[in-house]
Chains A and B, each alone.
Chain A
């Protein structure tokens, strides 16, 4: 069944052109034509006129290290050269009065008059303002000062100084506008990254990640040690080059490349220890019994005996009996038993780089090992990358990059964390003689971790880029790139039966019982194999030329992208034994398909950029990208995404020169761009029939017959969702570039938003994907940095803060409800949605005189406000019509900051990160006593709940509702009662390092050696109840890390 268009608006698309290649040709012809026009001015050569004056010199940095490859030019001429390995140069200049201009990336350029000297030494100062820094932008590079969009750059050193496994962890708090959310600290766990809020309701809102211009799936596949720099493209104009896939922002990772010069080797090694930041604590076993009795007594209407479940004598003697016979009277500390105090890990990285003029290479290799907070779990990652730059002639060259990543992950069949924290203490995990006990009727996480089988995954990623370029002139570069990405995953899950016997049956002669999920028949094996291959091919034309005060640069490109994804999944049941966990050991009729899947998608794209500036003062840039996506029907698959941006460097204007002492640099910029998103499934426009099996009797036999059904509605004209992004900003550097400020304000409007329209289930289909509605995101960012020194103490401080808020626009009057959050028109995206609590009922009279959720409500239960009814006014009934918006669920006012100090050979770094405002849901698995009727009671609940044993005054102060199972659907329905202030500030990283200079040790084999100690997430300031980390979701605990490391250069 296909649905007609839900969208009615007719769009005029200005950028639809059928054969853009022709346009490419036209533009190139124009470029070539104007080349003739400017040929006179641009005729450029490095040949010298008849000269006689030879000057030699050395170029060093401010610490005296030679700078190979620095450019030395005679001012006013085209005479120039480059420094050699030792930073030395020699150059014939026109006269003794010549002035030399020395430039080197990352350093302030200097002009030096020769003044008749034969030999000079130049010490370049590091460019702390980094305005000259070369920034990687889409399909090219730009100087930072020339950028008109909003781009943040994180240097590789800032990533490695965080000492984390995953790049995404290192980005937390590092960049204004980038929000990184953790949910667990399991080894290798990923994070959620959002750039400038969220612009899509249900599509993928993770940014596009590119490694050296090639899209990859996971930012964490890259070893932080291999990173040269990370560019975060935040506004529409910057990311428009990636059009269709850039609506959620773009992160470009540039890996380290070899530099001309002697080969260098470096090693760095770290030892890591992780411990939980916080974890839940539970009440004692006897208190558990008392509270369980109170619960049962409450649910029996407070009639009958008050110790219905656990007799008073039993409780009174329990501790004593436990000492005499721990098997019969267990008091199990599940947390202590299952969770270790700490997990450990280490990482080693080796890098070799260097090269000649013809071939420059960089080779890096990393190995990392982490174990987990519980047994039988570990994670390993091997990464390797080889980047080669081959120069065949001045005009022809190639880049050949290969990277591999292998991750292995061994785990028990479950993550036992939740059960370790929540299991009731009165159940035995192991008997005194070491045999496995039944836990709670077979719920025994300890047994499962120790002997329930294993899961094992191996993930192999091979990727790389082979590119060839041709430079017909020095301002024109034609290149083709081929970038395959092969990802293979192998996953094995073996579940073993776990019998257990009674404590007084040490010879195991009786009938065994089995741990839940591990019955006699549940020796089974699950094998998954995934192939995930992508291929990106690109053809690019880059152009970059100055004409006096005019500078023009541009890119034209064509790109194809194919992805195919296939999973083979097989299950083998009824293994006779667990000794051979391989499929061929399963009985023939016990092996079957377990959900094999296949899918594909592809893009074809054309794109171009034109950037112009006059005198480094007035900037104008335009981009356009046209994409075709296989996810949409033939007539709806092409989308064009243009952008334009402009900049004005005020500080270059004459009238600003009186202020030049104070203001080193001031630029205003503005941009407007349109971006697309299609990431909401692969075959949205097709009415797909999915197959399944039904069983039908045939006589007294049963046969499986194929059944087919369309489960999702398809919408034929589904097409791109478009985000219009507007940005204004300024870059200001003051006091000789020591203070720099970047501020941005942005607005993003998403239109034709793709979403799974929540439709009433009475239609009989799962929700369809349609282009409905709009969303508006507004936000701002502010980043400051200050560098200076006091004597030998050099210091730098930086801070950033940002906020964004997404408000849902017109979505055809629909409401999107997802668990406890709702998104609807004019309301913040993902707003908490539930009942409004009004304290705890204190007396029966209060219950009798108010609307209640059910007749089971008693004093001690949570009271809710009757807010609405069928006629929009309170109706005396508490039901779904009384649900209200309870504030946004997403973090607001996120901030970060760093302090770096260098004193002689010591260095110190401090990184802070935080969230200014967040509404945190205290989930049932954390707070609810006797969850599933047997789980433990959080000690923060005890003494803080309404109880018949309390005085009315104590009950008036009670923080939590009474103990009751019958009222749990009243008390634990989602309401603002369980929303807490989740704002926090974290000290993300503290590092103290000492660099041992080579000169300190005679004949030292190394050139420098740094040792350091570092701590991640050591301190957190928040106002949540004890035992819960503000980033914690269910599962593996958030940990803090202590790291010792050393880094040596050879």
Chain B
């Protein structure tokens, strides 16, 4: 028995020794991440925290797959915006909302830490704070222009507060945002040696955009003027080249988010969907006929007034920016020898949607290939014959391309300045100069010269500047908010989307196409447009006459109900926070 006790005790000693000494370490921390308790100790750490807000995810564009304005359409499919059925479950508004608030929270952490820090110099601290103000003002700007009144906070919310916070009127918020931009403009440098973070010019320009969207024309004009007066920016010489992936951070760029294929950050909106089918794309996202119709002729007149317009050659004698924006076909200018059934070289393959063009030229290999981009071959070739071209080069062919995401460029500032001054009815030479500077560049590399704007009539200029914005900024994500703030969305986005008449799709190149497209249009030598569409007093084209004449067909019925002038407050946040009211009509 004694032995048992001894042995037991001995074993227990070993066991308990094991317990007390080799106790497993329970203080484990994540080895591959930092800890907020030990962060914000060096300048680099502050810098890295602010870097976060320069990621593309926090800079949404008003672009969606199926198009949310009258510049884009996707075959016969509608996004909720144009179908008129945006609801609080609408994916885009919900994603933008949560991403922008993430951006705001991440900036606020830095703002708060800057107040208590002891490691930065005054200059370093105020530079970072200026940047932080620029960033949060930009995030909030998007929110109030799209959602109207939103929760606004300058200190991080606690969890409990997030369940209770109510919406602040956008008129109050915007005043704060102007202050943020002013602070940013006061503290940020005009330019950097090295990494290009937000600048003074960016703060002025973004403030101008917010003010313009909010209808504060005086503030907008001043901010735009401040930006112009920096003398830092000028227009890039070649409009078409400006948007190409190889043009990085041009002298026209005021604020942008870079992309880089080698660093695996690419344009991620499924570019394959709008490339030509002859290049393996889907030709699914199409510029609208309305956009094609809205460009002026080279005499400065709208197409329904200009004697230069030819509905059978819709790209002929048009504002050169059209040819850089939509892939052209047919004759392009008088005497070029091209006919309505001709195509144009686009990425080394002829682009030609004409139903008789069943073969097109592959200029690279010098052969004729079957034309997948005409509907007489492929049923899913562009439904309206139009393809996106702006900035598209051959390196888009593998669907990985890295053009800069331009948030703000100088041409926009000039147009904002002009618009604000026009709305203020302070029309002077500086307004006309701003407009004509933009137009001069547009015509710079073309056989035509800018038909200068000379009128000083407010209404005429309003028409001009609005159309100028549409032409200059197409597919840059600005058209949607322009329609919203001009209260034109109901008109522009209610009606139909249009497309080419039907034609039989037969891949056999020897079989002549048949169908209403041939009978009503091609065989009567009326391709591409049977007649000239009318342009109304707001610059919006109208295809009713063509439809009634049987020259085209409608693809969808579009509706933009009045409620959609604001996005709905996201469903999930409303279900969680009872103090969040909903926008009218949702």
User: A: which residues have CB within 8 A of B?
Assistant: 1-4, 6, 21, 24-25, 28, 32, 35-36, 39, 296, 299-301, 303-305, 307-311, 313-314, 328, 441-442, 470, 472-473, 476, 478, 480, 502-504, 509-514, 516, 519-521, 537, 539, 541, 558, 560-562, 573, 589, 592, 596-604, 628-630, 634, 637, 682-683, 686-711, 713-714, 757-765, 768, 770, 814-815, 817, 853-857, 870, 877, 879-881, 933, 965-967, 969-970, 973
Contacts and interface: CB of A to CB of B under 8 A. Distances in A.
Interface string B1-25: 1011101100110011011101111
Nearest to B103: A764
Contact of A688 (B33, B103, B506, B571): B33
Contact of B16 (A21, A629, A757, A965): A21
Nearest to B39: A689
A303 B45 CA distance: 62
A760 B163 contact: yes
B300 interface: no
Interface in B257-293: 257-260, 262-265, 272, 277-280, 282
Interface stretch (B104-112, B215-223, B414-422, B451-459): B104-112
Contact of A933 (B29, B77, B504): B77
A688 to B, nearest CB: 5
A25 B55 CA distance: 60
B574 interface: yes
A705 B195 contact: yes
B258 to A, nearest CB: 4
Interface of B: 1, 3-5, 7-8, 11-12, 15-16, 18-20, 22-37, 39, 45, 47-49, 51-55, 75-78, 80, 83-89, 97-98, 101-106, 108-109, 150-151, 156-163, 165, 194-197, 248-249, 256-260, 262-265, 272, 277-280, 282, 349, 362, 365, 367, 369-370, 379-380, 398-400, 404, 502, 504-508, 515-516, 553-557, 559, 561, 568, 570-577, 580-582, 585-586
A477 to B, nearest CB: 10
B249 A697 contact: yes
Given A314-B505, A973-B89, 16 more contacts: A472-B8, A480-B18, A519-B280, A560-B22, A600-B31, A602-B25, A630-B27, A689-B35, A689-B36, A708-B34, A708-B45, A758-B572, A758-B576, A761-B101, A762-B573, A854-B86
Given A686-B35, A697-B248, A698-B196, A28 B8 contact: yes
B249 A700 contact: yes
Nearest to B112: A1
Contacts of B257: 695
A512 B516 CA distance: 32
B1 A637 contact: no
B23 A759 contact: no
A879 B582 contact: yes
A965 B195 contact: no
Given A303-B554, A695-B257, A854-B83, A539 B18 contact: yes
A24 B573 contact: no
Contacts of A36: 1
Contacts of A313: 504
Contact of B280 (A301, A478, A513): A513
A880 B575 contact: yes
Contacts of B16: 21, 24-25
Contacts of A562: 24
Contacts of B150: 762
B84 A759 contact: no
21 contacts: A36-B1, A300-B557, A472-B7, A502-B507, A511-B280, A511-B365, A589-B262, A598-B31, A598-B32, A689-B34, A695-B257, A698-B194, A760-B580, A762-B97, A762-B101, A765-B105, A854-B561, A855-B559, A880-B87, A966-B85, A969-B89
A630 to B, nearest CB: 4
B23 A764 contact: no
Contact of A328 (B49, B362, B507): B507
Contacts of A592: 264
Contacts of B572: 758, 760-761, 817
Most buried by A among B12, B35, B553: B12
Contacts of A472: 3-4, 7-8
A511 B368 CA distance: 11
A560 B23 contact: yes
A478 B156 CA distance: 56
A699 B249 contact: yes
Nearest to B50: A707
Contact of B575 (A603, A686, A815): A815
Nearest to A592: B264
Given A697-B196, A762-B165, A856-B84, A704 B249 contact: no
Nearest to A605: B24
B265 A695 contact: yes
Contacts of B156: 1, 764
B369 A511 contact: yes
Contact of B398 (A519, A687, A762): A519
Given A698-B196, A854-B84, A856-B85, A760 B573 contact: yes
Contacts of B505: 314
Nearest to B17: A21
Scoring B33, B160, B349 by chain A CB atoms within 10 A of each residue's CB, the highest score goes to B33
Contacts of A965: 76-78
Contacts of A596: 32
B264 A504 contact: no
Contacts of B580: 760
B559 A634 contact: no
Contacts of B258: 695-697, 702
B28 A601 contact: yes
B159 A763 contact: yes
B502 A308 contact: yes
A304 B554 contact: yes
A475 to B, nearest CB: 10
A693 B54 CA distance: 9
Enumerate the 8 nearest inter-chain pairs by beta-carbon distance, A residue then B residue, closest first. Answer: A764-B105, A854-B85, A687-B36, A761-B98, A707-B51, A763-B162, A513-B280, A880-B571
Contacts of A310: 379
Contacts of A711: 102
A634 B83 contact: no
Contacts of B586: 877, 879
B162 A694 contact: no
A686 B29 contact: yes
A442 B248 contact: no
A304 B504 CA distance: 17
Contacts of A697: 195-196, 248-249, 256, 258, 404
B557 A301 contact: yes
A687 B35 CA distance: 6
A870 B582 contact: yes
Contacts of B28: 600-602, 630, 682-683
A815 B89 CA distance: 17
B358 to A, nearest CB: 12
Nearest to A970: B85
Contacts of A761: 97-98, 101-102, 570, 572-573
B8 A478 contact: yes
A478 B24 contact: no
B370 A510 contact: yes
A512 B404 CA distance: 29
Given A682-B30, A695-B259, A759 B54 contact: no
A914 B432 CA distance: 79
Contacts of A441: 277, 282, 380
A618 to B, nearest CB: 29
A603 B30 CA distance: 16
A316 B51 CA distance: 61
A596 B282 CA distance: 35
Contacts of B195: 696-698, 703, 705
A699 B194 CA distance: 7
Contacts of A476: 4, 8
A866 to B, nearest CB: 14
B52 A707 contact: yes
